[in-house]
Amino acid sequence: MKETIFREYDIRGIVGSELLIENAYELGRAIALYLTQLNCSVKKIAVGMDVREHSPEIKEEICRSLIDSGLDVIFIGVCTSPMMYFATYTMAVDGGIMVTASHNPKEYNGLKISLGTTSLWGRQIKEIAKLYIENQHRIAESPGHYSEHFIKDEYIAWHVEKFSHLKGMDMPAVIDCGNGSAALVIPDIVRAMEWENMHLLCSTVDPTFPNHEADPTVAKNMEDVKHTVQTTNAIVGVGFDGDADRMGAMTKEGNLVAGDKLIALFAEPMIKQHPGMTVVYNVVCSGGLTELLESWGAQTVITPVGHSIIEESMHKHHALLGGETSCHFFFSDRHFGYDDGIYAMFRLFELLVQSKKSLSELLKVFPRKVTSPEFRIPCDESNKYAMVQEMKGLFYQKKDVKILAIDGVRVATDYGWGIIRASNTQPVLSIRFEANNERDLQRIKEEFISVLSRYFSEAYLREQLQIIHEENA
């Protein structure tokens, strides 16, 4: 196993070169030891897996390692990551392990780990890495037991009950399951909810992801949704990533909606019901989101990027809503508080039905900004954090800027802002710009090119940072 698989929020890598199935057993032994070090009463672990080709083999090795470490395993079936989280809240288990690589391409796989209902991340993942490298494991007096309890039906029934007011909804919509884990449950949900006007795309499981990668925040992956929503009676389109913890949305006009704008739409009716409520979101989100939420009287908390960080911050600040531009959405209002793309879809449909407005009409509330997409520049995995740290020092030398350095470096000026940070899930640098007009957006871009050109050729940067902006109507 390469050490690079031990990432900020999970364990993830290319199977065969970075993440080795033949070493998954030893990795599972290290995880079992760490969980019992954190809580000596840990005994029973829920294990789920996504639809990737190598997930069954990894699942077998992880289950075997947990059992040999004296822990009981309940296999909850092939499922979405949120279904594993659901199990930690609704079943008598002490934690959960999900075999998945989320939205990464088909050659990747990995593990998401929870102790109780709390996801492990950051330093905790590094501690697991240390135990694995040192080949440490738990010596058990007797092996644990294996059982199966497939949670799919309970998960679907919970949503059908919570959204019974949407049963029989005649709103036409497009749902793209991406041939991923969402395809396991969305067709059954549509039948159970008696939604007769749904256009389902990629609704069969296929671990080769033959139609497109399962990442609904990338425009090319939503082309089928765009075509269908524009050529049918559908008024909105949604798509899911590989493990269905994220939901992307598209307007009737075929415009992909950024996650920060959806946070605002989710927040507005909630703030009316819970005045002064707290909303948590990450440092990449638009300044327009802060302006809007504060004008509505909400309390705002800005965090580094990362679903585990959002979830932890929500607990700390008793927030009812959290989210990211990457379309992770967290509701503590009428939900458990973890990110679930399918639950977010229900909340979006509910919002459209109750408001009697289109998604485009609802988006008009968002302040006018000119915002670039998220640019992702390939960068060596072992060097990306050091590179960002050096750039941070260069930006600190500039005058008339405000620096927010909780995750990478966000540089704010009188005319806009830009951010550069090392991705925690891929070997890339993530960059985004925002300003009040296109001229100022270009100024911000040039400021960043002047710093980045120390590491990349200017021609390459201009090609990679070609600005395709989105502007609110």
Q: For residues 35 and 30, what is the distance between their CA atoms, to the nearest angstrom?
A: 9
Active-site positions read 102
pLDDT band at 472 (very low <50, low <70, confident <90, very high): very low
Contact (Cβ atoms closer than 8 angstroms) between residue 92 and residue 230:
no
Query: What is the mean pLDDT of the segment spanning 400-422?
Result: 93
Position 473 scores a pLDDT of: 35
Sheet (strand 173-176) strand order? 198-201, 173-176, 236-240, 247-251, 256-257
Q: For residues 129 and 30, what is the distance between their CA atoms, to the nearest angstrom?
A: 8
Retrieve residue 146's tokens. Answer: 């294996």
What does pTM read for this prediction? 0.92
Would you say residue 469 has pLDDT above 70? no
Residue 268: name the closest of 163, 367, 365, 368 by CA.
Answer: 365
Domain positions in the chain are 3-150, 154-237, 259-363, 370-471
259-363: CATH topology is Alpha-D-Glucose-1,6-Bisphosphate; Chain A, domain 3 (3.40.120)
Q: What is the pLDDT of residues 206-263, one digit of tens each?
A: 999 999 999 999 999 999 999 999 999 999 999 999 999 999 999 999 999 999 999 9
CA within 13 Å, CB half, 104: 24
- CATH class, domain 370-471, is alpha beta
Q: For residues 84 and 340, what is the distance between their CA atoms, to the nearest angstrom?
A: 11
pLDDT band at 470 (very low <50, low <70, confident <90, very high): low
Query: What is the mean pLDDT of the segment spanning 381-388?
Result: 86
DSSP state of 255: P
Q: What are the residues facing 323 on neighbouring strands?
A: 281, 329
Q: For residues 120 and 94, what is the distance between their CA atoms, to the nearest angstrom?
A: 13
Q: How many other C-beta atoms are found inside a 10 Å radius of the C-beta of residue 429?
A: 23
Q: Which residues contact 454 (CB under 8 A, 6 or more apart)?
A: 394
Q: For residues 24 and 102, what is the distance between their CA atoms, to the nearest angstrom?
A: 18
Most confident of 3-7, 190-194, 283-287: 190-194
Q: How many other C-beta atoms are found inside a 10 Å radius of the C-beta of residue 389?
A: 13
Retrieve residue 227's tokens. Answer: 């075509």
154-237: CATH topology is Alpha-D-Glucose-1,6-Bisphosphate; Chain A, domain 3 (3.40.120)
Q: What is the pLDDT of residues 355-374, one digit of tens each?
A: 999 999 999 999 999 988 88
Percentage, residues of the chain above pLDDT 90: 84
Q: For residues 359 and 270, what is the distance between their CA atoms, to the nearest angstrom?
A: 17
Q: What is the pLDDT of residues 284-341, one digit of tens each?
A: 999 999 999 999 999 999 999 988 899 999 999 999 999 999 999 999 999 999 999 9
> Which range has the worst mean pLDDT, 182-186, 238-242, 400-404?
400-404
Domains 154-237 and 259-363 share a fold: yes
Q: What is the pLDDT of residues 90-114, one digit of tens each?
A: 999 999 999 999 888 899 999 999 9
Q: Describe the crossing of helices 24-38 and 123-133 by its angle, rounded to 10 degrees.
A: 130
The chain-wide mean pLDDT, for the chain, equals 94
Tell which CATH classification among 3.40.50.970, 3.40.120.10, 3.40.50.10540, 3.40.50.1000 matches the domain 3-150. Answer: 3.40.120.10
Would you say residue 424 has pLDDT above 90? no
> CA 349, 355, 361, 366 torsion: positive or negative?
negative
Q: Describe the crossing of helices 287-295 and 259-273 by its angle, rounded to 10 degrees.
A: 10
